[in-house]
Structure 1
Amino acid sequence: MNFKDQILECLNHGINRYRSLLASISINKKELQALLDDMVRDGLIYYDYEYNEYYIIKEAILNVKEAGYAFARIEGEEEDYFIPASELGYCYDGDRVLVCPYEKGSKLVNAKVIKVLEHAHKYVIGQLHMKRTKKGNKYYIVSNMKSFPVRVNVREDQLNGAEVGSIVYADVSYQGTAINGKITQVLGHPDDPGIEISQIALEFGFKTPFPSEVERQIEDIPDEVLESQKEGRRDFTNKSVITIDGDDSKDFDDAVYLEKLSNGNYQLEVYIADVAEYVAEGSPLDLEAFSRGTSVYLADRVIPMLPRKLSNGICSLNEGVERLVLACLMEIDLKGNLVNYEIVEGVIKSHHRMTYNNVNKILLGDKELCEKYADITPMLNNMLELSKLIRARRYKKGGIEFEVDEYKITLNPDGSPKDIVLRVRQEAEKLIEDFMLQANETIAYHMNIMNLPCEYRVHEKPDQEKLHNVFGLISNMGIPLKNTKNDIHPKQIQEALEKINDNSFAPILNNMLLRSMMKAKYHEKCLGHYGLAMNYYCHFTSPIRRYPDLMVHRMIKRVLLHPNNFDNDMIHFEAILPEVALKNSASERKAIECEREVNDMLYAWYLSSYIRKEFSGIITSLTQFGMFVTLDNGIEGLVSYRDMDGYFDYNENTLSVTSSSRSYKLGDKVNIVVLDSDKNTRKIDFMLKEDYEIYFGDDYEDNMF
């Protein structure tokens, strides 16, 4: 090991002072000082003049918090470094920086920012303002971006026709401590319907218009299936194929057909839009789809992965028109086991565009609908039978089904939230989910046993320590669970959920267990799916709205069904899959964050009309600083301990808070008053009714919702 490596080794072990380094390395003073000076100059280490210490410099990505401090995430290291606001400088969330870690006696490893390598934010979205000065008018943008709360200067010649007060999109450049902007787009006026959602979507990088080169490419895509495209495909057009989707769905990825075989088994046929037929790899359309990664479903709109000519047109399995598909044909026995299957290209013609609502009514025996759809009612009843068999088999293997409430937000014409209603999953929704899971598992199984490349959907085993802790907390709440020292199997989680579901605060405990799970992701290796208790799993059934599914289709077509260039395609897909899977996982996370941010904004906006009004709710989380209460409509807000009368002691083990006169624990029902609700910050503050009466008297409207 040379002297430079020895110095780095010492610094890694906290030997930071010159004298300590000299004592640890067999080198004379002059040589050591020269080496240290060289390493500082080369950017390998940093010299802190105040403390007379040397530190290793590391590249990191910043995660800046609202309070002003940040965490530095360093690739390859498990723990993040804490950066106090005083050591952050003019850095922002997501910036790539050089930091030097140091320790100052706290539990956290502290660090300071040495240099900004790259600013993450290349644009700002906000409102244009003007200030009159003696030197003339000064224009600036006040950012509306939660992740980038800055003020951006704009020269008059960079306004691009924008009027003061309008919401704008501007490219930014950094000059020392100043940020300068060039307005490239006027989004509208603050009162325009939907402008809030548009801003959030743009903040996350989701744009509705497609690039001009994509628009030019899709002009050449036909609106109907050509006769030449049917060659070599299996004809399913005479079968009673149906789609089952939501009332307001426009893009239909999947269709299904079922028949009972003479041997008593079920023939389940799942047809998926053959998007890969129209999206050539490397084309402008493909590159844009890969960049977007997924369609994003927001309260009042869909930002599609593919242009509507494809997503709602030639790729959508619309009723009464021929469409190209990839089909997974499966024979399933009376125990829900797959006994035979086939993967083929085909042509279908959907006989009925069914909705979940209508199918649910038919399955319950609605006379009018059963007569209207008499040609498929027997098939739908058989589908329900098979769905239950498939689900029972998955359950027997240990498949976990979390019962987490989902809510739909409806909007007024002006874009404000009108109502928040619970989404109800009934048999039709579960039926389609079961069939899609079965097809996804079958495709992944086949690609794996054939040693063909595939982009898998993986869900790794959870951190066992975290899971054991959750089991312990639930047991402390009076629900006895088997909490062995060994790894917890999905079957044990399933049994825990059964016990929990009999409890009044089942949604809370469901969420606790869900948060203890690893996040599912895309991967080039078949690592299994812990939550579904499946050894093989991929996403195959939604290529219109998910790029991973499109990738799986592309590989099926090129290395399985048409292996004309097999060796080169194998090498190609195996080379690109790791990066593609990583990008697709990131795109999914970004879409989820965007959808969550929009919902949080709408929740806060909704409650802003109910300030000083009373609601009932349940305590769903407790922390050192307060407790979170979830209302009956799913909206969550914070009750701060500082707004509670008396001193409250938080007990992490029992998830409770206690004062001399009262106590609260997870799952308690409480009445709250809405103190504040800000759609811009997404913050919602509650106060317990009894504390509100103490501080403000009973001078408020006592309305229960």
Structure 2
Amino acid sequence: MNTNKTLKGKIDINSKGEATIISKNIEHKIFLNKHSLKYFHDDEVEFFINKRKRKGKYLATVEKLINRDKKSYVGTIQINENFAFAILDGKKIDVDIFIPKDNINKAQDGDKVVVEVLKWRKNEMSPTGKVIEVLGKPGDHETEIHTIIKNHELPLEFPREVEEYAKKISKQIRKNEIEKRRDVRETLTFTIDPEDAKDFDDAISFKEIDKEIYEIGVHIADVGHYVESNSILDKEAFNRATSIYLVDRVVPMLPEILSNMVCSLRPQEEKYTFSAIFKINNKGVVLEEWFGKTVIKSDRRFSYAEAQEIIETKKGKISKEIALNNKSYEVRKEMVNAIVILNEVALTVREERKKQGSINFNKKEIKFKLDSLKNPIEVIFKENKEANKLIEEFMLLANKKVAELFKKEKKEPGVYRIHDAPDNEKLKVLKTIVKEFGYSLDISSREGTSRTLNKLLRDVKGKKEQNLIETLAIRSMSKAEYSTQNIGHYGLAFKHYTHFTSPIRRYPDILVHRLLNECLNKENNQTLKGLSEKCKYCSEKETTAVKAERDSIKYMQIKYMEDKKEIKYKGIISGITEWGLYVELEENKCEGMVYIRDIKGDRFVFKEEEQALIGRETEKKYRLGDEVMVMVKKTNLIKKHLDFIII
């Protein structure tokens, strides 16, 4: 290995505090002396490899900081007489920030604060910083939610000039603009969304051409009409890249006046849309396709529950228990007919997609019912019924067909949603684990993997190990991302796929709308330069959003379990480490830790090759998927810990 060359990489600190450098130039693990670190996790640095290895490990010396990963950090302030320290959040940070008394910014001892690093000299153990924001007292709901927001550096308020720009946008539907568009206002059109949705990205239109052929339109909010390229609104939307859905609030990509009002496809309002309109037969075969700008008027808004009742009963009577306004009502016959036929077509299209190797993940997701103080009072499982899948199927179709048009028209560069085949080593681990449960997996070929993975997901449905195996299967997959280089979408078994259907909440969809508009008008707009970098940035922002959303769920789970210390729960072992067992509760999917020191009856050791904890004397085993009875030992909202004991 070349020890003279200066290299670039990112600092990686694991939960044990071990520091390494990840560099695309090097396959080996490069270690750093943790005590000589003057850098944080994910900081980008220049380094060189030391000439001598220590204990068989490659060691590196950092020459300089290229880029600090974060501009600010969240921690709890401890104030002394003449100075203070911020004890930072996070397992990957074990350094405190020294804060001179002048830089405390009215914080009180014990407050959660946001701190900016000012300097970190080579001869100093701790960096020097200043408090730039006081969040409040640890444990308070607003403090903890804002801690998540600040830890992930999510933008909260829109800049005043962006809000003012958005307010000035004309909401009127103009005659001269309608003349440029296909008029679909007289065609039966409706939206189907979650009960609590406010931003309606998509609508479906339906027209029966004859008994076997239908015109089905997928109409998407024409956000690009209002968000002009390179405007301050566009730059802010790109900076955010995605809306983020925390448990009790949304951090939106666009100002509310656009996301919930101007662009949202609300019932009985004329709206500009970008549409994919298909002629499809009752076998799910697309006979004709049309793409272009349209104007629509949604006849009605349905919740998923309302649409599901129509699908199940094939009647228009909506009960008050299901109805959005809590009053029973009758749906027009043509709407009932449309939803029933759309569902039948969607079922046919879905079955064909599965035959092509599309993997059908259906992992249980949870949401929380909150009281007026935003305390969680109930855990609710999100149901993914036929009405949900109906909408999903036509969105997938529109996304796929837009990507195919890019290929057909040789639109380069395009923006694609790509998903690589899973890593073979991860598949081997998955195969070994599911074998313990009596299932098999053929990973000898791409086709065999998707076929047997689908069979596995069908076979585990309703079993105690379902959630565990679905989680492990998802983890074995590659991560989907945005790219200008199309490699197809492995999980969906599509050769061409993009994101076209959610421009209110995803910036890549706005880019796709602009590209599609160029494609249809045979234009080549120079403002779309730098697409590759934009795709990479949006993928990174998506990862941040997912982490923030998970953190908010974890926080709410711990908050929910705070007052349940006397209850016995059935759980399943969802993870095993050298320090204990992760247990997921069957009843509500809350996951906590049973520390190895708290397991009675023996001294247990971790056997990595068996993925088990084994008793030294009794040889009792705790394995992935085993059922255990547990009780809550301790909850810690500040550290985000939920600890169980086995009973």
Contact kept, 8 Å, 2:281 with 2:287, in 1: the verdict is yes
1:339 aligns with 2:297: no
Cα distance change, pair 109–373 in 1 and its aligned pair in 2 (3 A): farther
Q: Unpaired runs of 5+ in structure 1?
A: 1-10, 17-44, 46-55, 690-705
Tell me if structure 2 keeps the 8 A contact 1:472–1:483. no
Instruction: Mark the CA change 1:647 to 1:131 in structure 2 (over 3 Å): closer, same or farther.
Output: closer
Alignment-derived partner of residue 456 in structure 1 = 416
Q: Are 1:675 and 2:624 matched, yes or no?
A: no
| 1:426 and 2:426 correspond | no
- What is the alpha-carbon root mean square deviation over aligned residues? 2.6
Report 1:249-264 matches (<5 A). 249-262=197-210, 264=212
Q: Is the 8 A contact 1:337 1:393 kept in 2?
A: no
Distance 1:533 1:59 in 2: 36
Point out the structure with max Rg over C-alpha. 1
How far apart are residue 464 of structure 1 and its match?
2.4
Cα distance between partner residues in 2 of 1:79 and 1:276: 46
Q: 1:74 to 1:661 in 2, by over 3 A?
A: closer
Q: Which residue of 1 is the match for residue 644 of structure 2?
A: 686
Say whether the 8 Å CA contact 1:251–1:312 is kept in structure 2.
yes
Q: What is the alpha-carbon distance in structure 1 between the residues aligned to residue 614 and residue 630 of structure 2?
A: 18
**Structure 1 letter corresponding to 2:117:** V
2:161 partner SS: helix
CA distance in 2, matches of 1:419, 1:562: 51
Kindly report which structure 2 residues correspond to 1:144-223, keeping only aligned pairs within 5 A, or say none. 144=89, 150-155=95-100, 157-160=102-105, 166-176=111-121, 177=124, 178-190=126-138, 193-223=141-171
Partner of 1:447: 406
> Against the structure 1 CA distance between its residues 486 and 447, is the aligned structure 2 distance closer, same or farther, given a 3 Å change threshold?
closer
The structural deviation recorded for 1:75 is: 2.9
Q: AA paired with 1:646? A: D
Paired position in structure 2 for 1:380: 339
How far apart are residue 110 of structure 1 and its match?
3.7
Aligned ranges 1:2-21 → 2 under 5 Å: 11-12=1-2
Using the alignment, how far apart are the partners of 1:239 and 1:626 within structure 2?
A: 60
Aligned pairs, how many? 627
Partner of 1:639: 594
Written as runs of structure 1 = structure 2, the 5 A alignment for 1:93-108 is 93-102=41-50, 104=53
In the aligned structure 1, how far is the partner of 2:222 from the partner of 2:407? 21
* Pick aligned residue for 1:328 from 263, 273, 276: 276
- Residue 390, structure 1, aligned to residue 349, structure 2: yes
Query: What is the letter of the counterpart of residue 456 of structure 2?
Result: A
TM-score, normalised relative to structure 1: 0.83
Aligned to 2:188: 240
Does structure 1 residue 597 correspond to structure 2 residue 551? yes
Q: Kindly provide the amino acid, as one letter, of the partner of residue 361 in structure 2.
A: F
Structure 1 pair 145–286 and aligned structure 2 pair: CA distance change class (3 A): farther
Between the aligned partners of 1:337 and 1:204, the Cα distance in structure 2 is 44
Matching residue of 2:489: 529
Taking the aligned partners of 2:174 and 2:108, their CA distance within structure 1 comes to 50
Segment drifting more, 604-613 vs 673-682: 604-613
1:72 deviates by 1.1
> Which residue identity lines up with residue 400 of structure 2 in the other structure?
E
Q: CA–CA distance in 2 between the matches of 1:598 and 1:676?
A: 19
Maintained 8 Å contact 1:254/1:272:
yes
Partner of 1:408: 367
Q: Offset at 1:493?
A: 2.0
Structure 1 residue identity aligned to 2:415:
E
Structure 2 residue 611 is matched with structure 1 residue 663: no
Which one of 74, 82, 92 corresponds to residue 31 of structure 2?
82
Q: Work out whether residues 318 and 330 of structure 2, in 8 Å CA contact, stay in contact via their aligned partners in 1.
A: yes
Counterpart Cα distance in 1 of 2:560 and 2:176 = 54
Give unmatched runs, 5+ long, in structure 2: 320-328
Q: Is the 8 A contact 2:442 2:448 kept in 1?
A: no
| Aligned equivalents of 2:219, 2:274: Cα separation in 1 | 6
Once residues 159 and 225 of structure 1 are traced to their aligned partners in structure 2, the CA distance between those partners, rounded to angstroms, is 52
2:593 aligned partner, one-letter code? L
**C-alpha distance after superposition, 1:235-278 (max 9, x if no partner):** 11112211111111110100001233226123211000000011
* CA drift at 1:71: 2.3
Report what 1:38 is aligned to.
none
- Aligned partners of 1:383, 1:680: CA distance in 2, in Å? 48
- Which residue of the partner structure matches residue 497 of structure 1? 457
Distance of 1:192 and 1:485 partners within structure 2: 52
1:281-330 deviation per Cα after TM superposition (whole angstroms, max 9, x unaligned): 11111111111110000011000000011101111111111110001001
Instruction: Give 1:516's aligned residue.
Output: 476
How far residue 442 of structure 1 moved from its aligned partner, in angstroms, is 0.8
Q: Secondary structure at the match of 1:241?
A: strand
Give 2:531's aligned amino acid.
L
Deviation at 1:550, TM superposition (A): 0.6
Q: Which residue of 1 aligns with 2:540?
A: 586
Corresponding letter in the other structure for 1:621 = G
The match for 1:64 is 13
1:316 and 2:264 aligned? yes
Q: Deviations over 1:37-77 (max 9, x none)?
A: xxxxxxxx4xxxxxxxxxx5432211223432222111333
Partner of residue 431, structure 2: 471
Cα distance between partner residues in 2 of 1:119 and 1:483: 41
The farther-off stretch of 66-75 and 493-502 is: 493-502
In the alignment, is the contact (CA less than 8 A) between 1:253 and 1:317 conserved in 2? yes
Q: Is the 8 A contact 1:233 1:346 kept in 2?
A: yes
Q: State the distance in 1 between where 2:603 and 2:392 align.
A: 49
Structure 1 residues 61 and 654: alpha-carbon distance in aligned structure 2, compared to 1, 3 A threshold: closer
Contact 1:96 1:118 in 2 (8 A): yes
Distance (Å, rounded) in 1 between the aligned partners of 2:399 and 2:644: 44
Q: Report which stretch shifted further, 625-634 or 389-398.
A: 625-634
